[in-house]
Amino acid sequence: MVLPSLDSLTLKEKIGQMIVVRATGHWFDHQRRYPVWEASNSQLKYWLEDLKIGGVILLGGSAAEISLRTQKLQQWSNIPLLFAADIEEGVGQRFAGATWFPPPMNIGAIAKKDLTKALEYARKMGAITAQEALAIGINWILAPIVDVNNNPENPVINIRAFGDTPDLVGELGAAFIKGTQSYPILTTAKHFPGHGDTASDSHLTLPVIPHDLDRLAKVELPPFQKAISVGVDSVMTAHLIISTWDDQRPATLSHACLTGQLREKLGFQGLIVTDALIMAGVANYASLTEISVMAIEAGADLLLMPADPEMALNSVYEAVCSGRISKDRIDQSLQRIWQAKGKIQQQKIDLDQIAKPEAVHTAAEIIKKGVQTSLNVPISPPISPVLPINLILIDDLLKCDFLAPSCPAIAIPQKLGYQMQVREQNQVPENLEEIGLLQLFTRGNPFRGSAGLSKNTQQWLKKALDKVAIKGLVVYGSPYVLDWLKGEISLEIPWVFTFGQMEQAQTIALETLFGVSRFSDLHPGEFM
């Protein structure tokens, strides 16, 4: 599909190209998990066909479903679409069946021991993510995160960042971008000018970064400068108050931040895309009509996930008609959008490119090299007529996509003689019966609002470990939880830590704990 001439578009169609809407990756309307945010198929068809909306961000569904979904959505538009996804941990993070890498901080931990190997992994991760994304129709990777997560209490960036120092984050982020560049795909450095040093989540509130110019120049900005220097295609804004630049407006709505700093001072000439406009950090600041106009005034080229795309479009259109925004300003964004769309090419859908052996092996290598353990020798499976408990504590059962009855965290201990219990953190058991195995799944994530373990869980752990009621421990996700355990409790029991929470990480962690290779001696053909 060929891009039309910009002169052939009406003003409203040009503004439509500046909007990216959210859609479920599932085929049918009744499969939408978040119908408030995810439009029905008839609504999407209208937006793409009539309003000429320029892009779609997809969440949910399998890789195979997405391959059909992107084709169908493109059929509704006669202009090539941007198909975006938050695939910071590989395509499998969002779309089942594809390769799912551990969080970027896993690679950052490897870098502290072997930077050369970590750079190779980051590059491979970028290349595999790009290859698999294009194979299912995704042409815009909303990664890498180049925030410097130097605040352990950060509830939203956390292990999504490569690390806590600007040099490390910059180098690994650049390696990821370089890995994608053999493919006709777009990348994104986020969240400008840096969301790492906050203890609050901009999905829920508006954080403030109080640092002076010198601190911003030394810590927050260098990873973005590095990403720009290696040719990142887009930069995503953060819904933060950067008080030294603009103490009134969030960066997403600030001309001083987006135009004055990102465009003029850092020299970035690619796409500026807002973070999702449904997030409270900006949505509570002003009305949708006002924030849509303010974001364009600030320097944004693309409005991501406005609550009502047609309202956002009309508000920008009226601002142009009234003279508040110039037609030249719209054309500047359209030129950048057209340049980006000219880079991407419609690829043949090819599911044979998904989860190839080399990709799966690379993910496993990264997971293994990030594992930490207290073990000199593995622990023995229980030999007792009374089944000990395999207690799994997670943050939120309703948002848990890594646990199922057949997943390794449940099935492997079951084969070894454990009786399973799954609870949320606020539902820790009151009694301290023998817990043969405790598995903690916790990490920073959007909308979580807090980092680490709840106070209830912390108190329970201190009591349980003091009474040696727990015989073995696996921590999945946040290294800050492991740090807390080491600092608050004398961890004299066998323990294993892994950054990943997916099935591959579960298998590797439990193999380490129990020393049973691939569990083939327990159940041939399973867990392979």
The string of DSSP letters for 22-86 reads: EEESSSSGGG-S-TTTS--HHHHHHHHHTS---EEEEESSBHHHHHHHHHHHHHT-SSPPEEEE-
* d(C-alpha 227, C-alpha 245), whole Å: 21
Residue 121's alpha-carbon distances to 135, 175, 196, 510, in angstroms, are 21, 9, 22, 23
Whole-number pLDDT of residue 526: 46
| Cα-to-chain-centroid distance, residue 32 | 20
Strands 473-477 vs 437-442: parallel, antiparallel or unpaired: parallel
* d(C-alpha 173, C-alpha 494), whole Å: 34
pLDDT along the chain (528 residues), means of 10: 93 98 94 90 97 97 96 96 98 96 97 97 98 97 97 90 97 98 97 91 87 95 98 97 95 98 97 96 94 98 97 98 98 98 88 96 96 80 66 83 86 89 81 80 77 84 76 92 84 89 95 73 42
Specify the residue for token string 């960042």.
161
Whole-number pLDDT of residue 427: 80
- Amino acid in position 238: A
Q: At residue 394, what are phi and psi to the nearest 5 degrees? A: -130, 170
* d(C-alpha 516, C-alpha 412), whole Å: 10
- Amino acid in position 484: W
Topology of 371-514 in CATH? Rossmann fold (3.40.50)
Could you tell me which of 314, 242, 330, 237 has the C-alpha nearest to residue 277? Answer: 237
Which residues participate in catalysis according to the annotation?
Answer: 203, 275
- Say if residues 133 and 343 touch (Cβ distance below 8 Å): no
Tell me the three state secondary structure of residue 422.
strand
Whole-number pLDDT of residue 165: 97
Could you tell me which of 484, 409, 400 has the C-alpha nearest to residue 439? Answer: 409
Q: What is the pTM of this model?
A: 0.93
Cα torsion angle, 512, 480, 114, 94, sign: positive
Give domain limits for the chain: 16-353, 371-514
Q: Please, which residues have CB within 8 angstroms of residue 359's CB and are 6 or more apart in sequence?
A: 99, 128, 132
- Amino acid in position 292: S
Q: Which CATH class is domain 16-353?
A: alpha beta
Element (H, E) at 294: helix 288-298
Whole-number pLDDT of residue 499: 96
Residue 314's alpha-carbon distances to 15, 38, 280, 291, in angstroms, are 9, 20, 22, 13
Could you tell me which of 506, 504, 528 has the C-alpha nearest to residue 517? Answer: 528
* d(C-alpha 290, C-alpha 249), whole Å: 12
Element (H, E) at 303: strand 303-304
Whole-number pLDDT of residue 331: 98
* Measured distance between the N- and C-terminal CA atoms of the chain, rounded to whole angstroms: 42
Where helices occur in 149-247 by DSSP H, the ranges are 166-180, 213-215, 222-229
* d(C-alpha 497, C-alpha 183), whole Å: 34
